[in-house]
């Protein structure tokens, strides 16, 4: 009969799920990721300001798109990460799923706020207004409120495991807003243009404008990945602090 050795190399799921192992392998990943992020931003900003032409219609204001589109993409991608983590928490009770959810929420809020801000800055010279209550902009504002509500919920509970279950349910319910953001430009008459990059029939943007856009999107995505990993590591450390503080209080006879 085959026997399992206790020294068997752990699988990828264990390496992700076990907080100690997660801290071990991510220690070697954070610095290379941070360097890759810095290099991608350096390359991206060079292409944005020195190697890309003005758009034939929008002129130089197209350079705002290189920040607006990546932040808007991350505002939704971050929610997709939280959505997957919420399923991981509720269905599999994955030990790192709620850590991932908690770490992602402030990042999602920041990128959504940036998408709204850069959109407003871009909207003034191109549409003549900073803000319009149209489908895309309003649903993105709702997304920001959802992120802020989720952050507030995390802070409202001392018991983080209980908070994780409640936040997971709210995250799953709030996910209904993501397809609304995506398809709002098709469903309603809006000032916002329809999708021009992520389309089933391929991008409609010229290559000279698509290149800086993709490089900046890569840079922002790497930034998100780096910050998310570091924040997850910090959350695991905080939980370790909590258990050490409890042990310390118990040793001092101050806690049951």
Residues at the site binding other proteins, with contacts judged by CB under 8 A: 49-50, 54, 59-61, 63-64, 67-68, 71, 106-107, 110, 113-114, 117-118, 121-122, 124-125, 223, 227, 230-231, 233-234, 237-238, 240-241, 244-245, 247-248, 251
Q: Can you tell me which residue has the tokens 């993105």? A: 140
DSSP codes, the chain: -----TTSPPPHHHHHHSHHHHHHHHHTTHHHHHHHHHHHHHHHHHHHHHS-PPBTTTBGGGGGHHHHHHHHHHHHHHHHHHHHHHHIIIII--TTHHHHHHHHHHHHHHHHHHHHHHHHHHHHHHHS-S----HHHHHHHHHHHHHHHHHHHHHH-S-HHHHHHHHHHHHHHHTTHHHHHHHHHHHS--SSPPPSSS-TT---S-HHHHHHHHHHHHHHHHHHHHHHHHHHHHHHHHHHHHHHHHHHHHHTT---
Q: Of the two residues 202 and 253, which places its CB atom closer to other proteins in the complex?
A: 253
Please state the closest distance from residue 111 (CB atom) to other proteins, in A.
Answer: 9
Please state the closest distance from residue 254 (CB atom) to other proteins, in A.
Answer: 14
Please state the closest distance from residue 11 (CB atom) to other proteins, in A.
Answer: 27
Q: Of the two residues 1 and 251, which places its CB atom closer to other proteins in the complex?
A: 251
Please state the closest distance from residue 241 (CB atom) to other proteins, in A.
Answer: 5
Q: Of the two residues 14 and 248, which places its CB atom closer to other proteins in the complex?
A: 248
Q: Of the two residues 152 and 173, which places its CB atom closer to other proteins in the complex?
A: 152
Q: Of the two residues 59 and 179, which places its CB atom closer to other proteins in the complex?
A: 59
Q: Which residues does 62 contact at the CB level (< 8 Å), separation at least 6?
A: 54, 55, 209
Please state the closest distance from residue 40 (CB atom) to other proteins, in A.
Answer: 13
Please state the closest distance from residue 43 (CB atom) to other proteins, in A.
Answer: 16
Q: Of the two residues 122 and 147, which places its CB atom closer to other proteins in the complex?
A: 122
């Amino acid at each position: 009969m085959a026997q399992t050795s206790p020294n068997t190399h752990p699988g990828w799921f264990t390496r992700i799920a076990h907080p100690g192992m997660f801290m071990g392998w991510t220690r070697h990943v954070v610095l290379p990721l941070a360097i890759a992020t810095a290099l991608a931003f350096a390359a991206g900003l060079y292409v944005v300001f020195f190697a890309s032409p003005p758009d034939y219609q929008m002129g130089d204001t197209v350079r705002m798109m290189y920040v607006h589109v990546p932040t808007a993409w991350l505002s939704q991608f971050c929610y997709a990460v939280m959505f997957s983590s919420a399923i991981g928490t509720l269905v599999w009770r994955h030990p790192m799923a709620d850590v991932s959810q908690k770490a992602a929420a402030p990042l999602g809020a920041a990128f959504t706020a940036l998408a709204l801000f850069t959109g407003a800055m871009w909207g003034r010279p191109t549409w003549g207004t900073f803000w319009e209550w149209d489908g895309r902009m309003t649903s993105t504002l709702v997304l920001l409120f959802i992120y802020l509500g989720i952050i507030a919920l995390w802070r409202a509970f001392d018991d983080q495991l209980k908070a994780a279950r409640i936040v997971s349910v709210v995250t799953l319910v709030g996910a209904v807003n993501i397809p609304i953001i995506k398809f709002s430009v098709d469903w309603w008459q809006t000032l916002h243009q329809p999708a021009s990059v992520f389309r089933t029939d391929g991008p409609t943007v010229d290559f000279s404008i698509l290149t800086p856009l993709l490089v900046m999107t890569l840079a922002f995505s790497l930034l998100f990945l780096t910050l998310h990993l570091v924040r997850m590591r910090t959350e695991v450390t905080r939980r370790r602090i909590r258990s050490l503080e409890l042990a310390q209080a118990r040793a001092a006879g101050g806690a049951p």
